[in-house]
Amino acid sequence: DSGVTQTPKHLITATGQRVTLRCSPRSGDLSVYWYQQSLDQGLQFLIQYYNGEERAKGNILERFSAQQFPDLHSELNLSSLELGDSALYFCASSPSLGGNTYEQYFGPGTRLTVT
């Protein structure tokens, strides 16, 4: 158990809908990352937050957004869903932005199926 929690574990929804994925980082970790894992794209970095502020963006679509709250949990919002958004979405946390303590610990993931 990495200490990172994600809810829900599975999500099935229809095209055009909006969903919210939730992540709680490990105790003490300030940095949260979101990744998408799909068969054709592999593991893709989406976005990073550190102590409530957005710090880096990867291959995140405009239909997707995220935020990190004062209690450090994070939410990833996916809207106008398309079939191609079906994937496993991971949240990871890290105690720092970089340096010798830089490691990312991953949650169990949320499997999103868009029908």
Partner 1 sequence: AQKVTQAQTEISVVEKEDVTLDCVYETRDTTYYLFWYKQPPSGELVFLIRRNSFDEQNEISGRYSWNFQKSTSSFNFTITASQVVDSAVYFCALSGWVSQGAQKLVFGQGTRLTINP
Q: How far is the CB of 68 from partner 1 (least distance, A)?
A: 13
Cβ proximity to partner 1: between 14 and 40 the closer is: 40
Structure tokens at 58: 């990867």
Q: How far is the CB of 106 from partner 1 (least distance, A)?
A: 4
CA separation (Å) from 27 to 65, 75, 105, 106?
24, 17, 11, 13
Distance (Å, whole) CA 54 – CA 52 = 7
Q: In this structure, what are the phi and psi dihedrals at residue 32, rounded to the nearest 5 degrees?
A: -125, 135
Cβ proximity to partner 1: between 14 and 100 the closer is: 100
Cis peptide bond prior to 8, omega within 30° of 0: yes
Q: How far is the CB of 25 from partner 1 (least distance, A)?
A: 14
Which chain residues interact with partner 1 by CB under 8 A? 2, 31, 33, 42-43, 45, 48, 50, 55-56, 58, 88, 90, 92, 97-98, 100, 102-109, 111
Q: How far is the CB of 16 from partner 1 (least distance, A)?
A: 27
Provide the H-helix boundaries in the chain. Answer: none
